[in-house]
Amino acid sequence: MTTKIAVFASGSGSNFQAIQEAIEHGELNASVALVITDKPGAFVVTRANNFGIPVVELSPKAFENKAAYEAKIIEHLKANDVEWIILAGYMRLVGETLLTAYENRIINIHPSLLPSFPGKDAIGQAMAHGVKVTGVTVHYVDAGMDTGTIIAQGAVDVVDGDREATEARVHALEHALYTNTLKQLFEQ
């Protein structure tokens, strides 16, 4: 049975693209019912359009509060029979409304070996601290910032003084690790 997912993204959507390509190549038994972005016009919209996947663009500022914003998202999720929420560069903390509606069904990927370097610019944080190894973490989402139960991790060597090369290594690992981890979760 195919698992219906929604991918949430705020930026370019490279992780979304890797997930969708894995689906199209038969590597992941899922279907992306829709892409949701909190940044109307983000490049992930172009990527989703290229795959013919519906997009919901919602600006949180247009809503009275976070609960109202998330309630609107839930309307779209329910209308599309979404079973899992997959965060892929979604730069917003998930609130109680979504956490309650999709308890233990929201997954995130973070570009560090959590619990080290949570939050924004994890690669920059790692490089500023001079670590030799960083990585990627896939975890369940809870009310904290990158504090949910860890599902999978992978490590990469930092390229000393070369952020671009380090980011390339992290992104390559993200794309492989996320797809493999989702496959294992959906097959349970």
Q: Which residues participate in catalysis according to the annotation?
A: 110
Neighbours of 119 (CB within 10 A): 12
Whether the Cβ atoms of residue 27 and residue 81 lie closer than 8 Å to each other? no
Displacement of CA 82 from its chain's centroid (Å): 15
3-state secondary structure 28-40: CCEEEEEEEECCC
Q: How far is CA 154 from CA 66, 100, 119, 174, in A?
A: 33, 29, 18, 8
